[in-house]
Structure 1
Amino acid sequence: MKSLIVYGSKYGFTGECAGILAKKISGKVDVINLEKEKVNNLNQYDNIIIGTSIYAGRIRKVVGKFCNENLDTLLTKRIGLFICCGQTEKAEEQLDMAYPEELKRHALAREHLGYEFNFNKMGFIDKKVVKMIAKIKENKREILEDNIDKLASFFN
C-alpha cells in the first residue's frame, strides 16, 4: 500500500509529527507540507493522512483548502486525520471543528499528536496570543507517541 501524509504547519512541529508518523507506517509513504508543495496525483495513494496545527482555534488555511478541493477523491481513500494543538483538554473539540463533516465520518482514525510552544520561533503577535489564550510563558512541547502509534496502526 502507498500512503500520503499531507499537513500544514506554521512553525514546524506538525511536520515533525508527520515525519515520526511516516516512519511508523509500513510501505511507501510520501510526506508533503502543503505550505510549500502541491499534491500532484491523489489517485496513486491508498491511504491519505491529513494533519494541521491549530492556532487560536483555527486550522491552517492550506489544509482546509486541500480538504475542500479534494473531498470527492478523499472520500474514496482510507483516511486518517490529526491535529497538533496546545489545548489538550479541548483536543477532541478541536478535531471536530478542524475538518469537513463528511471527511470526519469517513476517516478510519482521528488523533491529537501533541503540541509545541516555541517562543524563539514565534512572531510578536503569536507570542501575545499564546500567552493570553494558553497562559504559557515559556517554551513547552509534548509529542504524544502513543497517539502517533495508534494512528499508524490503522494503516499497517
Structure 2
Amino acid sequence: MKTLIAYSSKHGCTETCTRLLAERLVGEVERVNLKDTSEVNLSAYDAVVVGSPVYAGRILGEVRTFTEEHLDALMEKKLGLFICGMQEEHTIREELELNYPAVLRKAAVAVDCFGGEYHFDSMNLMEKMIVRKLAKVKEDVSDIREDTIQQFADSLNKVEEDDKDTPLS
C-alpha cells in the first residue's frame, strides 16, 4: 500500500505526529507539508491521511483548501483524518467534527485527535501570552498521544490486511 500523509504544521507538533504515524504504517509512506506544495497527484496513492493543528477552533487554511479541492478523490481512497491540539477532550472532538466535512469523516477508516504540544521557543509574543493565560502553562509541554497514533495506524493497516484477504473476482 502506498500512503500519502498530507498535513500542515505551524509549530512542529503535527509534523512530529506525521513522522510517528509514518513509522507505524505498512508499505510506502510519503509525507507532504501542504505549506510547501499544494500540487499533489492523489492517483498515485492507495491511502491518504490528512492532518492539521487546530488554532482558535479551525484547521489551517491550506489543509481546509486541500480537502475541499480534492473531496471527490479523497472519497475514493482509504482515508484517515486527524487534528492536533491541547484542548479538553470534548472540545477537540467538536473541533474535529466542525473542521472535516461529515461526508469525509463517514468515509474515513480512522478519525482521531493526536494531542498536542506547547513549544514556547517557536511561538510569537502574542501566542505565548495567550497560552500562559488560557492554558495556564509557562513552559514547554508535550501531550502527543502515541497510543492513539498507533491505533490510528492499526486501523489503516487492518484495511490493507483485509484487502489482501479478499479474493479476486
Consecutive unaligned residues in structure 1, runs of 5 or more? none
Distance 1:110 1:119 in 2: 28
Deviations 1:58-110 (A, max 9, x none): 11110000000000110111110111101142221121112112111111111
- In structure 1, the residue matched to 2:124 is 123
Unaligned runs of 5+ in 2: 158-169
- Say which SS state the counterpart of residue 5 (structure 1) adopts: strand
TM-score, scaled relative to structure 2: 0.88
Residues 120-153 of structure 1: CA deviation (Å, up to 9, x unaligned): 1100121122223323222111111110011101
Cα deviation per residue 1:27-80 (whole Å; 9 max; x = unaligned)? 000001111123431011111000000112111110000000000110111110
Q: 1:45-84 counterparts in 2 under 5 A?
A: 45-84=45-84
Conservation of the 8 A alpha-carbon contact between 2:110 and 2:156: no
CA contact (8 A) 1:32 1:39 kept: no
Runs of 4+ off more than 3 Å: none
Whole-angstrom CA distance in 2 between matches of 1:65 and 1:133: 29
Q: Over aligned residue pairs, what C-alpha RMSD do you find?
A: 1.2
**Cα 1:154/1:39, change in 2 over 3 Å:** farther
Q: Tell me what 2:37 maps to.
A: 37
Give the number of aligned pairs: 156
Question: Which shifted more, 49-58 or 123-132?
Answer: 123-132
Aligned to 1:95: 96
- Larger helix proportion, structure 1 or 2? 2
How far, CA to CA, are the matches of 1:134 and 1:47 in structure 2? 35
Greater Rg, structure 1 or structure 2?
2
